[in-house]
Amino acid sequence: MAKIKKSNEVLFRVIIFAVTTAFLILIWSKRGNLAHLSKLGYLGIFLINFISSATVLFPLPGVAAVFLGGAIWNPFWVGLSSGIGASLGELTGYLLGFGGRGLAQSWEKQKWVKAVEQYFHKTGFATIFVFSALPLPLFDIIGIIAGWLNYPIWKFMFATLLGRVLRNILIAWSGAKILPY
């Protein structure tokens, strides 16, 4: 019975990995349509940042849209809507990690994996918050690690939301102050 449960969990993770990978390929193939989204105002900023964050390790113009959007619209609302979109988009990295663990079962028994998992569960929220607040493309790796290490998804999303909203409000405010619009 335990083997069946374990094989079902592995199958579930592999399916999540495959679906997330297909979603990434779809987003990447439609990346040329992002410019049209800016006409939608706050919703467009939300969608641009969702798509930009969902493209794991393939940077798209999310930060630039926030900077320019802050000069055009209210920087607070630009930062809030783009931060929410970006944090939801980061779920793709998390899900890739979560699904990927099903593909690398032999690693689960390694002592270093358990040590990293314990460390991440202790410091994960702060790590996720800090890295999500920084305008670096490395955050996708943090999301993949969080998913792979079974870090609670709600904690991942909450820390990411706080960091992305804070970061994007600051970027939008900077755009409002620097760009003469």
Q: Which has more confidence, 129 or 62? A: 129
pLDDT class of 1 with cuts at 50, 70, 90: low
Among the listed residues 48, 53, 54, the one whose alpha carbon sits nearest the alpha carbon of residue 20: 54
Domain interval for residue 31 = 2-178
Q: What's the total number of domains in the chain? A: 1
pLDDT class of 35 with cuts at 50, 70, 90: low
**pTM score, two decimals?**
0.78
Q: Which residues contact 157 (CB under 8 A, 6 or more apart)?
A: 87, 91
Q: What percent of the chain shows pLDDT beyond 90?
A: 33
Mean of the per-residue pLDDT values of the chain: 81
Chain segment 146-170, per-residue pLDDT in tens:
998 889 999 999 999 999 999 999 9
Chain segment 81-95, per-residue pLDDT in tens:
999 999 999 998 899
Q: Which residues contact 59 (CB under 8 A, 6 or more apart)?
A: 52, 137
Q: Which has more confidence, 83 or 175? A: 83
Contact 139, 52 (CB under 8 A): no
Give the pLDDT mean for 2-9: 63
pLDDT class of 20 with cuts at 50, 70, 90: low
Question: d(Cα 29, Cα 80) in Å, to the nearest integer?
Answer: 27
Residue 120 pLDDT: 85
